[in-house]
Each structure stands twice: as C-alpha cells, then as structure tokens.
Amino acid sequence: MIDLRSLTKRTDLPDLETCLIHVASSLERSISVASLQAARSGVSGNLTIPHAIQVAQNAGLQAGYGAWTLSSFDNTLAPALLFLKDDRVVVFHGRSTSGRVLIYDPSLGDEIGEVFENNLQDVYTGYAIVFRRSQSEDTKNSGYPTAGHWFWSAMAANRWSYFQVVLAASIANLLGLSTSVFIMVVYDRVLPNEAKESLIALTIGVGLALLFDFALKLLRAGFIDQAGQKADLIIGRRIFNQLVDLRMTSRTGSTGAMASTVREFETLREFFTSATLVALVDLPFIGLFIFVIYLVGGPLALVPALAVPVVLMTGLIAQPILSRLAEQNFSDGQSKQSVLVETVSGLETIKTTAAAQQMRARWEDALERQSSHGVRSRAVTQFALNLTGFTQQAAQVLIVFYGVFLIADGHGSMGALIASVMLTGRALAPLGQLAQTLTRINQARSAFKNLNALMNATNERPQGQKWIRRPECQGQITFRNVEFTYPEQADATLSGLSFDIKPGEKVAILGPIGSGKSTVTRLLLGLYQPQSGSVMLDGVDIRQLDPGDLRRNIGTVLQDIWLFSGSIRDNIASGSTRPRDRDIIEAGKIAGVEDFTADRSGGYDLILSERGEGLSGGQRQSIALARALVTRPPILLLDEPTSAMDVKTEAKVIDRLKKATTDTTMVIVTHRTSLLSLVDRVIVIENGQVSADGPKSILTNHTLAQRRHLNVAAS
C-alpha cells in the first residue's frame, strides 16, 4: 500500500493523479508515480483522461469515462472520479447513512469528508470515471492493448474496420460486373429488338449499381483511414515507450540508425493505410472474373486464364530481387541517417578539424549506394510493369481474335465478346500494380522486421515483472563482489568491486581515468546490470526495484551533461515529477544557476537550444546539479559535477551544497581536491577493484607518487 501522505507531499501531484492513486489503492491495486510519469504527455505535462484510463488499466482496473448524473451514484459505483469545475477532481466514496456524499478531495487533505449533494451538484461537470477491478490483468476489451504483440495486437483491435474494408471491396467487385453484363444484354437483346423500355430500365439499374459502388469506395477509404489512425496512435506510443525503456545494453547501432528504424514505422503504417491493401483484397476476385467470362463467353476464358499466370510468374521472379533491394534500401537509409545525425551534432568540431572530409566521403558513399540500389529497384519494377501492361493488351487483342472465330462458328454472340473484353480488362487490372504492390510489401516487411527486433529487445520493464515498491529510501548503497563487462568488450571493467556506504555518508570515488568510476554510477542507476555480484539499495538488489522508483531516489549529475531544448526552468523541472517554483529556485540557488541568470534578461526562462548549446560547460553543470537537487533526493550521485567551473564559482557551490545536504547520502566522483571538502571518506578504484577505502586522511598518508597517480593533492 502506498503511503499517500508522503507521496503527495513529496511530489506535489496534480489532483487527477492523486485521486487516481487513491482510487487504485482503495481497490487494492497500486499505481506507481513512475507509471504516472511515464503516461504523462503533451506540452503541459498533464495526465489526460485517456492516459489516466490507460494507467488504471495497466494497474489491473477497468475504467470507463462518461456522463453520469450525480443522483445515479450509489455505493456500488464507489470509488469513482468526479470531474468538477475549474479542473478539480474528487473521489466519490459512497453515501453516508444520512444521505450525504462521501468525498475524498486531495486539495483538503487525506481525510474522506461528507458534503451535501446540492453543494456538490453545483460544481459537478457531469462527467466521471467509474472503476472496477479486472478479473484478469489483461486489457482485452479496452481497445488500447498494452499487452500482446506491439503490432499485431493493435491491428487485431482494428479487425472490425479491416473486415469492413474487405466486405466493401468484395461488394464493389461484384458491382463491377454490372457494366459488362449491361453491355452484353444491350448488344444481344436490346439492339436487335430495339427494346427501348428495357434499355431505360437496364440503364437505371446499372446507374444505381454505379452510384452504390462509388459510395462504397468512399466508405472503404474512410474505414482504412480510421483503422490506420487508431493503430497509429497505439503503436506509435508503444514504440516510443520501448525506446525510452530500452536497456542500455540493447541499444545497438548509431543514433541515426536507430532513429531511422523508428521512422520506418511510417512505411509500415502507410502500407496498412493505403490503396496497396485494397489492391491485395482485389486479387482473389480475379478468379471470379475469369469464371464470369467462362459463363458468358465459354472458351474465351482461356485467354485471361493464361495471361494471369504469366503476370504472376513475373511477380514471383521479381519478388526475391525486390525483397533484397528493400533490405538494402533500408540499410542505406540507416547509414545515410547515421552520417547526417553525427555530422549535425558535431558541427563545431567537424568545422574546426579535418573531419569534414571524412564525413563527406561517408555521406557520398551512402548516397551512391542508395542511388545505385534505387536504379536497380526501379528497373525491376518498371520491367514488371511494362510486361504486365503488354500482357493486358495482348490478352484483349487475343480475345477479340479468338472471339471472332467462335462467333463465326456460331459459338458466341457479339455482346458476350464485348463483355469478355471488358471483363478481361477488369480481371487483369489489380495485377497492373503488382510490381508496385510487391515493392511496397517488401518495404513494409523489412520495416516490420527491423521494428520488431527493436520491440523485442530487452527492456527495463519486462511485462509481468513485479517490483518491490520503494517510494522513499534510506540511502544505503552496497556493492557486493560486482563483476561487470560492457557488452562486446573483452576485458572486465569492474572485477569484484565491493563497498558499503551508510545512509547519510559522504564519499568520494577516486581513481585514474578509465578505472571504472563512471561505470559504478551507471550500475548504481541500473543503467547496466552486473554479470555477477549485486548492487543494493537499502539492502534490496536494485534489479527488484522499479527503475523509476530507483532513479527518483537518486539525484544525478552524469559525466556527460545532457540538457534539452527549452527554458532553464524546464530543464531543472525535468528532474522532478512536478516541482514547485520555490523548489526550482532553491535548487537553482544552491547549484549556482542564479549566479549567471541574474544578470541576463530571461532569468530562469532563458531558452536553451538543443543539448544546452549556448551555455558554457560550467553553466551546464550548474543546471544539471540543480536538476539533481530539485526533488531533494535522499541520495546524490555526482560524476565530476564541477569539472568545468571556475574556482570561485565552485567554492560557492560547494559551500551551499554542504549546507543543503547534511542528511543526504552523497557519492562524488572527482579529481578535484576542492570537492573533497564535501566528503568524509574516499574510495579509490584501480583496475576495477577497490584499492583503498577509508577516511579522507588516508590521502595524506599516500606517497607523493601515489597521489600524483590519483590526480589529487593532499588537502
């Protein structure tokens, strides 16, 4: 069970989220702040109603949003979320014996209070979410599958739309027969007898069929779009979630390559929302058309029956070539994107070194490959296209040729011949796009394959994993015999590392470059997992903790500082679920952000460009430090946090940090003597093991040579 009091105080959640957690815990389901955080979207960062429903469903609740009158709420519907005016949300808890309504209102505290129905009626918007515990935890009926295959389950959720598409296409195909039959009847029956009345009736009939056909085609396009749009939202979201939750070890390839894989979702989506799909539905109807030709023209059906296999054979032969070209096209796209992303992100360095030459060569290489593959792909497609066109025309000529002989022998009528020519045209029409369809299918397949690999890569939140909940921790950190080797590296980075940091202790980790100091921070944050041994927080192996809970407890400044585009305030706020303004300002003060924003016009609202460009290294470190401090986490993990600051600024930051973190467990990786004043104990790491561990004074006992080796001077 969640301790609501501490949660709401610590993170200051908005009403909807607090109420949601409240409802879940009263239904004996739990919703973690981490999952709320993950569900939040939109610029405002607020939880929207659909996302709130999704979070509830993920936690094993059925939730339904709708209009309810207040009088319809009785005890069986409790607990329910009621939406009030002014964006307030309360939880309905039933009615008291005196008939008053029991309400949990997050803005009034944790108690459940009684209100008169009239008073509630005045502010109630009429909309509510009602809940029920799901029997099984899967979300079959929700329409928003979160379990199951990322792609097929979303498609399956749309099966009704796709069924409608197939149905509409089938009827359209049947209606397509009407024109040919019309012409046949006119030639054979109407013309010889000059039966004008029949002609009028027939024309009206065929006209109606055409109109119906037109309407169906419009509907069909609508169905496909609708299905695509829904699938798009669900799948797009899941792909992004997977990207964010991906284990660091499953990150393969360059940034650009990965971005390009994700972008290929477009290709896949386009396939399922385009005319290509319709062309596929039309294929089986070729058989029907040939059968009808047989009915009206008898042996004439032989001609299309021979032409179809010819075209299909072309497709069959082209298929493996097109498939290979699609794969190549995909990897060409990836390498192009990789070069592009790498170049754009390193523009300053590339300009000032001779790297431009290298990048240009790579770029041109990628372009060349793509264009040569493109030429081959187009050649194959064009050949298949021309051959199909040729076969179509030849079939029509042949049918006329053969038909004349049949008529001469008294085996057919003029009308039947004309109808057969028309039907042959129709039968072969879906094959006309066979080459393009094949190309599209292959592209979609290769996109699917690559995305599927990404979606199946190991993820930090495997489905069905049960986490130990740890909303707030003491701050005890233990490394026990940790062995760790980076993926695809031969040598172990950490080999049997052990240490224990008590709550509230302040420790510096020292060591020569490449000794594994930053690796220790990554393991502690659960970004990587040790091959053997364990990393523990408060005596629990961190593999059992929700990564969100874990990282919320640890305020971190990583060695490579990453800031995103947005204001300084946004960047600091991103350290927390929902920081208050005064927390941001407080953190900014300690970290020294105020020192450089004070004399700028924008202050905290100064807009940074990507990765914090436009700020100096030290300023970026200040912001990152403020981001780490904003939630006042029980643990601070700082990897060379002041390495780019000048001595004076650093001294001020250290001074303020010291005052603000008396109870905090602090782990600092550093080479700076100045930072040692923050700590009481040092751990020296060498060759992946602890080579010295003790109070600060051990440094003074080291020989001068050792000290120089560690890059620290005696303090």
Q: Interface residues with Mg ion (CB under 5 A)?
A: 518, 559
In whole angstroms, what is the distance from residue 3 CA to residue 288 CA? 67
Shortest distance, position 491 Cβ to ligand ADP, whole Å? 8
Q: What would the DSSP string read from start to end of 408-429? A: HTTS--HHHHHHHHHHHHHHHH
Contact between 518 and ligand ADP by CB under 6 A: the answer reads: yes
Shortest distance, position 498 Cβ to ligand ADP, whole Å? 17
Contact between 516 and ligand ADP by CB under 6 A: the answer reads: yes
Q: For ligand ADP, give the closer residue by CB, 439 or 519.
A: 519
79 binding partner (options Mg ion, ligand ADP, none; Cβ < 5 to 8 Å by kind): none
513 binding partner (options Mg ion, ligand ADP, none; Cβ < 5 to 8 Å by kind): ligand ADP
Give ∠ CA 411-417-419 in degrees, rounded to 5. 135
**Contacting residue, 153, 519, 649, 664, with ligand ADP by CB under 6 A:** 519
Shortest distance, position 668 Cβ to ligand ADP, whole Å? 13
Q: For ligand ADP, give the closer residue by CB, 446 or 642.
A: 642
Which long-range CB contacts under 8 A does 207-213 form with residues at least 24 apart? 209/175, 209/178, 210/175, 210/178, 210/179, 212/175, 213/172, 213/175, 213/176
Shortest distance, position 687 Cβ to ligand ADP, whole Å? 11
Contact between 530 and ligand ADP by CB under 6 A: the answer reads: no
Site stretch for ligand ADP (CB under 6 A), options 355-363, 382-390, 517-525, 628-636: 517-525
Cα 463 from chain centroid?
16
In whole angstroms, what is the distance from residue 243 CA to residue 460 CA? 10
Residue whose C-alpha is closest to residue 688's, from 505, 441, 512: 512
Whether residue 240 contacts residue 181, with contact meaning beta carbons closer than 8 Å, is answered with no
In whole angstroms, what is the distance from residue 707 CA to residue 699 CA? 7
**Contacting residue, 511, 547, 548, 588, with ligand ADP by CB under 6 A:** 511
Sign of CA dihedral 538, 543, 547, 549: negative
Q: What would the DSSP string read from start to end of 49-106? A: HHHHHHHHHHTTEEEEEEE--GGG--GGG-SEEEEEGGG-EEEEEEE-TTSPEEEE-G
Q: Which residues pair with 80 in a beta bridge?
A: 92, 130
**Interface residues for ligand ADP in 475-494 (CB under 6 A)?**
486, 489, 493
Contact between 514 and ligand ADP by CB under 6 A: the answer reads: yes
Q: For ligand ADP, give the closer residue by CB, 511 or 641.
A: 511
Contact between 446 and ligand ADP by CB under 6 A: the answer reads: no
Shortest distance, position 560 Cβ to Mg ion, whole Å? 9
511 binding partner (options Mg ion, ligand ADP, none; Cβ < 5 to 8 Å by kind): ligand ADP
Contact between 517 and ligand ADP by CB under 6 A: the answer reads: yes
Site stretch for ligand ADP (CB under 6 A), options 433-441, 515-523, 547-555, 646-654: 515-523
Q: For Mg ion, give the closer residue by CB, 51 or 522.
A: 522
Contact between 513 and ligand ADP by CB under 6 A: the answer reads: yes
Shortest distance, position 278 Cβ to ligand ADP, whole Å? 47
Distances (CA, A) of 569 to 559, 585, 628, 632: 21, 9, 13, 16
Q: Which H helix or E strand runs over 477?
A: strand 477-484
In whole angstroms, what is the distance from residue 667 CA to residue 94 CA? 49
Shortest distance, position 574 Cβ to ligand ADP, whole Å? 23
Q: For ligand ADP, give the closer residue by CB, 560 or 599.
A: 560
The contact set with ligand ADP (CB under 6 A) reads 486, 489, 493, 511, 513-519
